[in-house]
Structure 1
Amino acid sequence: MARRRTVSDSVLVAAPPAAVYAVVADPTRTPEYSPENRGARTGGAGPLPVGAVFTGDNERRGFRWVTECVVTAAEPGERFAFRVRAIGGARRRLRAGIASWEHRLEPAALPDGQVGTRVTQTWTDERRMPDAVARVFDAVATREPFADFQRRNLATSLQRLQALLAPGDGS
């Protein structure tokens, strides 16, 4: 059976698209809502433009790794996306297609009539390995098919983003 390569989930956030974009397009803010990201180095502050490269520090069950990412879409208030193009430890990195991440933002009416944002986060598996090899890797890395694992990660990220941008949080 072929592995699932794309997973998406959405949430309604009580903040306008520009406020949501300011958070998701700034990788240094990702640890505020991601279950695995522990930090990012961007060489600057705030939302990144297309072509910008950043490094992410990640952790799962005590295992740490570094990713090198490049921004592939930066449309303020609408869309932010990046591709993970290298992964590994601090000194050794595997340069290959790993994954891509995207946040799509759409204005949406909140129950109180204010403008909020429908945030859709998508993860796409870009690993170029046979499905049988991916199943073995996934069993070790996540103890299940990676798409199933990422579906829960997306739900957690979106719930945390929703809470982070709730009215009165100071963002």
Structure 2
Amino acid sequence: MRRVTTVFDSIHVAADPLVVYRQISDPTLMGRWSPENLGATVHQPRESSYVGMEFDGVNKRGFTKWVTRCVVTAADPGSHFAFQVQAIGARKPWIRSGIASWAYHFTPEPGGTRVTETWTDDRERWPNAAVQVFDRIVTGGDTFAQFQAKNIARTLRNVKKQLEAQTAG
């Protein structure tokens, strides 16, 4: 059976695309919305995200905590933000490998923005059997695609709730 390597979802947010982009493209803020990410540290000084910018994301699932090294691959204000997870480790990201890519598209709609979040499994060199065993152990029974689909839906609901509350207030 061929494994699913890309999942996505979208939601309407009653806020301007540039406002939504500025929030989501700041990796230090992702911990506000994500069920796993606790935030990030950006390595270089910056005013906004840019292609090539590196950051370390701190993540937690249950009692397990890990750090990822990520590199921004797209930074088009109000339109598209993406990054690749290129390394991972328990305390610092020392295992270098294709892990995952994340992308966010911001499409203007009447009254706001359609935000689409996409996760792509970059573990291309892993044998399918190894992926299936690993995924079910670390996710509690799901494939990573199933697990990330749930995380994406939750993240998008949290983004909507927080950004709409900010723009209404």
TM-score by length of 2: 0.93
Distance 1:45 1:90 in 2: 24
Question: What is aligned with 2:51?
Answer: 50
1:13: how far off? Answer: 0.3
1:70: how far off? Answer: 0.1
Change (3 A) 1:92 1:22: closer
Report 1:9-158 matches (<5 A). Answer: 9-43=9-43, 44=45, 47-91=48-92, 93-110=94-111, 116-127=112-123, 128-142=125-139, 143-158=141-156
1:138: how far off? Answer: 0.4
Q: Encode CA deviations 1:112-152: one digit per residue, 9 max, x unaligned.
A: xxxx0000000000012011100000011102111000000
Distance 1:92 1:118 in 2: 33
Distance 2:47 2:151 in 1: 24
SS of residue paired to 1:77: coil
SS of residue paired to 1:3: coil
**Which 4+ residue blocks in structure 1 deviate beyond 6 angstroms?**
none
1:55: how far off? Answer: 0.2
CA contact (8 A) 1:26 1:46 kept: no
The one-letter code sitting in structure 1 at the alignment partner of 2:60 is E
1:15: how far off? Answer: 0.4
- Segments of structure 2 that go 5 or more residues without pairing to the other structure are none
CA contact (8 A) 1:14 1:167 kept: no
- Segments of structure 1 that go 5 or more residues without pairing to the other structure are 111-115
Distance 2:142 2:22 in 1: 33
**What is the count of residue pairs matched by the alignment?**
166
Percent identity reads: 46
TM-score by length of 1: 0.92
CA RMSD of aligned residues (A): 1.5
CA contact (8 A) 2:27 2:40 kept: yes
